[in-house]
Amino acid sequence: MTPGPLGNESMSSTFLLSGIPGLEHMHIWISLPLCLMYLVSILGNCTILFIIKTEPSLHEPMYLFLSMLALTDLGLSLCTLPTVLGIFWVGARDIGHDACFTQLFFIHCLSFLESSVLLSMAFDRFVAICRPLHYASILTHTVIGRIGLASLGRSVALIFPLPFMLKRFPYCGSLVLSHSYCLHQEVMKLACADIKANSIYGMFVIVSTVGVDSLLILFSYALILRTVLSIASRAERLKALNTCVSHISAVLLFYTPMIGLSVIHRFGKQAPHLVQVVMGFVYLLFPPVMNPIVYSVKTKQIRDRVTNAFCN
């Protein structure tokens, strides 16, 4: 594919990542809370994984899905950490095309995998509350493994074409990205070519993953709420709903910033650049940081083992 008239613009083999515009002189100080958030995310999710793996009583469907969530969050943190800290520590803004395409593949793949895991956890809560007598027979280890593989397969299959769709474009001019990492919706806008196919496919991926998953999660909770309201005892109703609090928090932590960032990229062209940058950090850092904290605080089995581990 040949680019259109470029005038004096030159082709470039690298993109430029961005920190926080206007605050470059404070990047080293801003890196301190960012480092703390990455540390909390990595240690928190590793702790969850270690506790679930070493405690046989936690080898139940709810905690196996939680371990999938922790593993996904850990992957999200690790795939953005090098470029984010590279910018804020040493000002390393350049990233090659192939490295950028690889990073965005993992970011989007893991993000949509997290959406699938959250849907799986909603199904787990639905079965536990609406079909308690069949819980163990429905959610066997084999079924959980198949759900995990299907979730991973869907994410990889949908995201796999994106790097190749981007690689075929020529890129020219000022190739500055708005974030400290690569995202498909940003990179495609820097192409000196028609990006209509990429835009349509990107929207299809969003709708078929986040859109479908969020609707199914809402439907699951509608059924859960109907079942809970039919319980005669108020104490039993509160007990049933309390088992869903951690999952509902994780859903809100994930979907709210993701939808917000997607809306800003597609429709909020007049939004201040700082809003995009901050929303980008919230989207990728808050769920991995907060999920281990939420589950450690709200889930007694996890809380007790975390307390014992640190007290001993």
pLDDT band at 271 (very low <50, low <70, confident <90, very high): low
Residue 36 CB neighbour total at 10 angstroms: 11
| Strand-pair partners of 94 | 16
pLDDT band at 121 (very low <50, low <70, confident <90, very high): very high
pLDDT at 1 over 60: no
DSSP symbol at 168: T
Q: What is d(CA 57, CA 232) in angstroms, rounded to the nearest whole number?
A: 30
Structure tokens at 279: 């929303």
Sign of CA dihedral 40, 296, 144, 142: positive
Q: What is d(CA 72, CA 51) in angstroms, rounded to the nearest whole number?
A: 16
pLDDT of residue 108: 95
Nearest to 289 by CA among 112, 19, 80, 60: 80
pLDDT at 267 over 90: no
Which residues lie below 8 Å from residue 303, measured CB to CB, with a gap of 6+?
296, 297
Is pTM beyond 0.85? Reply is yes
3-state helix, strand, coil in the chain (%, to 5): 80, 5, 20
Asked if 79 contacts 95 with a C-beta cutoff of 8 angstroms, the reply is: no
How confident is the model over 56-99, as pLDDT tens digits?
Answer: 888 999 999 999 999 999 999 999 999 999 999 888 889 999 99
Nearest to 47 by CA among 240, 286, 296: 296
Mean pLDDT of the chain: 87
Percent residues over pLDDT 90 in the chain: 52
Provide mean pLDDT across the span 206-234.
90
